[in-house]
Amino acid sequence: MFQHLSKHCVCKCCVQISRYKHSRSSVLTAREALSSSGAVLVLWLTSGNANPVCFSSLFRFKDSRMEDVWLVDFYAPWCGYCKKLEPVWQEVGAELTRSGSPVRVGKMDATAYSGVASDFGVRGYPTIKLLKGELAYNYKGPRTKDDIIEFANRVAGFSLTTHNIFFLKNTIMYIHEKYTEVASELIVYTYFFSASEDILPESVALHELPSVVVFKDGTYFTYDEYEDGSLSSWVNRERFQSYLPIDGFTLYELGETGKLVAIAVTDEKDPTERSGRLKGLIQRVAAEHRDQFNRDFQFGHMDGNDYINSLIMGEVSVPSIIILNTSNEQYFVPAEPVEDLEQLLRFFSSVLDGSAPAFGGDGIFQRIKRVAYDARSTVMSVFRSSPLLGCFLFGLPLGVISLMCYGICTAESDDDTELMKRDGFTDEEEDEGEEEEQQQLTAGAEGEDDEDREKIDLVCENFRTSLGAPHVTVLSYKSTQTQTLTVLKWKVFVLINNHYCNNVPL
């Protein structure tokens, strides 16, 4: 029954009668988006030989939009990611034609038709949407040919196996309606099937009918309304395998399940014994302790730590274990390196009971730190990829700012000069004034030196009188000057009875 599904389909639910005609319960309907505009679409059409053919003519999109299933790439001509997607998009169109898919592939310049793009909820480029009837489904997965084709076939309902089942009671009809509603909402994430009990293998034992069952991880799990809450929440939680490889695309999809994401960070290019042990421990927790942790945790491993480092704005060692909360950007790391299963189980339990410290978050400080970190990362990436371009992009603005500052400073100096000229002063007059002031200071200093000499002579005369030494010779004295006040520190050297006396008190 499920052999034709790709490896990305990890959740299959049974209990519906056939493929579903989606109701208007979706958030956005295509009819509303196109009701007021005759939008024009530039198409990449596919010919019968499955080779993409580009037609330069414009197609009236509104007229045939409701009759067909469209996979549309909303792009911007200047967008680098859009240009990178273009060859993949041509391969998608060719492959869908070869396989006989009813999905038609097109692309729209969202900058030229911004009104239509806005009506469809396009906020960035490229944006891939599948338009089916009145509904528009947004694609958030990896931009590879296989992933896009798998998404298109799943949402379009192409080649799904259905089995007839009769609904005879009101309770069954109620579940049928709820299942249809959930399928309409979550068809972008997984496949939905309907089947009768007789097609199930004997190993699948259902206690009551109807039932909603998910098949994954080599086994199956049955929905219990009393224990699992709403059907939509349960399907959303169970749409991934318990353990899977994680990348940047799948990480936030895992976060949309409302679970914490437990990741073994490894280096697949250089595997070590410790990397294999950590992956094995997380796999054991996912399989052997499902009842305890499955409701709160999604498990997996990630190759390399670059994405994690940019997410937490820090450094994660490889190999290691980290738990991410994508809803508030918090993360948890073990206090000590994990060595065995018991230690890992205690770490998971401490996260659930709140005893483990949380790092990061989305507070004001973290937001400011995020802005600075992103700016630094952008600058570093530009210089790493193209140093010359980096010098031009960042050197030119710095040069302009420097010139502006220089101009402001010189403008103030020129203003002072003009003011002096208006007051009757010239540069020559200012220089003459400075010379006169210097001469006055010099004359004052000489006068003070004469006074100091007279004081010293008086001191020497006192020595001659008090010591009875008529022959006192003054050898030298020193003075120091501080700014405008001359401070004399006399150091009188005298020769008394053929002995030198130093620092004689005055």
Element (H, E) at 69: strand 69-75
Half-sphere exposure of 58 (CA within 13 A, CB side): 10
* Catalytic residue status for 54: no
Of the listed ranges 13-27, 163-177, 289-303, the least confidently predicted one is: 13-27
What would the mean pLDDT of 337-365 be, rounded to a whole number? 90
CB atoms within 10 A of CB 19: 17
What would the mean pLDDT of 144-167 be, rounded to a whole number? 67
Of the listed ranges 250-259, 394-403, 492-501, the least confidently predicted one is: 492-501
**Domain spans of the chain?**
12-228, 243-366, 427-501
pLDDT of residue 173: 40
pLDDT of residue 446: 56
Catalytic residue among 79, 405, 460, 501: 79
Higher pLDDT among residues 30 and 2, named by residue: 30
Where does residue 351 rank: exposed (0-12), middle (13-18), buried (19+ CB within 10 A)? buried
Cβ neighbours for 356, distance < 8 A, ≥ 6 positions apart: 332, 347, 350
pLDDT of residue 20: 33
pLDDT tens-digit profile of 248-264?
A: 878 878 888 889 999 99
Element (H, E) at 315: none
Tokens representing 379 are 């600058």
Pairing of strands 330-332, 320-325: antiparallel
DSSP, collapsed to helix, strand or coil, labels residue 182 as: helix
The CATH classification number of 12-228 equals 3.40.30.10
Report residue 405's pLDDT band, with 50, 70 and 90 as the boundaries: confident
pLDDT of residue 260: 92
% of the chain residues with pLDDT over 70: 63
pLDDT of residue 155: 82
Of the listed ranges 208-212, 309-313, 384-388, the least confidently predicted one is: 384-388
Q: Which CATH number fits domain 243-366: 3.40.50.300, 3.40.50.1820, 3.40.50.11540, 3.40.30.10?
A: 3.40.30.10
* Catalytic residue status for 82: yes
What would the mean pLDDT of 8-13 be, rounded to a whole number? 38
| Of 39, 341, 491, the residue nearest 500 (C-alpha) | 491
Q: Looking at the predicted structure, is the pLDDT value of residue 323 above 90? A: yes
pTM (two decimals)? 0.55
What would the mean pLDDT of 194-217 be, rounded to a whole number? 78
Catalytic residue among 11, 13, 14, 82: 82
pLDDT of residue 281: 93
